[in-house]
Amino acid sequence: MKQALFGFLDATPTALHTACELVRVLSEHGFRRLDERERWDVRSGERYLLVRGASVVAWIQGQRAAAEAGFRIAVAHTDSPGLKLKHSAARNQDGYLVAPVEVYGSPIVSTWLDRDLTIAGSLTVAPQAAPQARDRAALRPAAVPFRLSGACAVIPNLAIHLNRTINDGFAYNMHDHLHAILGIAGNGESQSEPSMTVLQAVAGCAGVEADQVLLAELYLCDTQPAALTGLSGELLSASRLDNRAGCFTVCDALCNSGAGDATAMGVFFDHEEIGSRSWAGADSVLLRHAIERIVGATDGSTEARYRAAAASCIISNDAANALHPSYRDKHDRAYAPILGGGPVLKSDANQRYATVPELSALFAQLCRESGCTMQQLVSRADMRPGSTVGPFSAAQTGIAAIDVGIPLLAMHSMRETAALTDVTALRDVLLRYFR
Ligand code: ZN
């Protein structure tokens, strides 16, 4: 499993890459892609998936009618906070080729500075211009994912001699202080427009012509691969573990599950880090419509849909803030998960987490049967927990849910740290859940 995890982490620098890799892995395990525009003919025991933007829904159709056996659903999110390059605003300035950025979600921006960054994202071109684009809608242009192979950008800090108080705490201005330097101005063979210089570099990598690009979505990404650290190699260090670790554990468990009575389903939502409200986020009708269509394929009655929802449950799998040895007062000690301590059940009296008691007991039981300890997270009363896709998934479908996840240090940093054993333990718990 370790090899598969590292392969997944190194193949997925953006949400779209994560969705594409999920589709690749799921397809290898027999999941067949359905088109939202076509009539679905689903059969018990068969494996299906659908894709909307950078969101993926995959399921193994249950042996029994969904109205009776329901769905066993696990949800995660494909996106992570980061910096998006505003390539159209690229310019030659002070001897550099520079471009400003747009901030996606809530990254710890200081961790993006003074690093070897590369560019990954997607180029949207007319269908005939992208032979590798698989979108069958002739009228809809297709997004071609790409990633430059080496480092190509840096966002430098100001030297300490010019900012003597930086170690006292410094507020980066998101517009003024985060310009990416992409090279020396005018260096290189082409002397084209600065924005075209950027576009030409990424278009060549994506295998398309720069002048055929209709839209470029470019993100600055880490070039450092995922690694094990700690004296015994027990710590996992990588970018975007929130929530690629969640996507991996759900996908791996689903791929290794067989067909049971209930329909086993993994859902991978985009747009969690910006509030989930979009055409493909957890606060959309994506999951509800998928469930209704699956139930409706065998029983078109409204009653069958309501019964299926009532017989179903959702495990929302997202990272949990672990106790930090230098900031121990940020947790209530009785509810402070530690790395290596096992999967975390997250609860919040104000339903910032979706957790309900009935399913908490189920999760505790699954952990016990899997041979791992379960930890609990409840925030301090004077702090607000982060968001997850759990409450949105529950509200949009009317299905009871819980929020769980691996404990994680430095959430939303360029480099996050987890324990490898927590990832494998949660994957085993999800496997038991689906089975
Ligand atoms: Zn998350």
CB 53 within 8 Å of CB 268: no
Mean pLDDT of the chain: 94
**Cβ(99)–Cβ(182) below 8 Å:** yes
Q: Which residues contact 32 (CB under 8 A, 6 or more apart)?
A: 46, 47, 48, 49
What is the distance between the alpha carbons of residues 414 and 131, in angstroms, rounded to a whole number?
33
DSSP state, 338? -
Which one, of 79, 68, 171, lies nearest residue 121 by Cα?
Answer: 79
1-37 pLDDT per residue, tens: 899 999 999 999 999 999 999 999 999 999 999 999 9
Alpha-carbon distance of 30 to 7, in angstroms, equals: 19
Q: Measured between alpha carbons, how far is 99 from 89 in angstroms, rounded to an integer?
A: 6
Task: Please give the model's pTM, rounded to 2 decimal places.
Answer: 0.95
Give 246 Cα–ligand 1 centroid separation in angstroms. Answer: 8
Ligand 1: distance of its center to the CA of 349 in Å?
A: 20
The string of pLDDT tens digits covering residues 231-285 is 999 999 999 999 999 999 999 999 999 999 999 999 999 999 999 999 999 999 9
Q: In angstroms, rounded to a whole number, what is the distance separating the alpha carbons of residues 382 and 402?
A: 22
- Quickly state the pLDDT bin for 300 (edges 50, 70, 90): confident
Band the pLDDT of 186: cuts 50, 70, 90.
confident
Ligand 1 centroid distance, CA of 81 (Å):
9
pLDDT of residue 266: 98
Q: d(Cα 37, Cα 62) in Å, to the nearest integer?
A: 23
Cα separation of 90 and 192, whole Å? 12
| DSSP string over 189-226 | S----HHHHHHHHHHHHHTS-GGGEEEEEEEEEE-SPP
pLDDT digits (tens, 9 = 90+) for 363-412: 999 999 999 999 999 999 999 988 899 999 999 999 999 999 999 999 99
Going by pLDDT thresholds of 50, 70 and 90, the confidence category of residue 189 is low
Quote the ligand 1 centre to 126 CA distance (angstroms): 33
> pLDDT of 113-147, one tens digit each?
999 999 999 999 877 655 555 555 555 677 889 99
Give pLDDT, residue 272: 96
Query: Percent of the chain, pLDDT > 90?
Result: 89
Neighbours of ion ligand 1 (CB under 5 A): 242-243, 318
Going from the Cα of 26 to the center of ligand 1, the distance in angstroms, rounded, reads 22
pLDDT at 126: 78
Domains assigned to the chain: 2-80+239-434 (3.40.630.10), 82-222 (2.30.250.10)
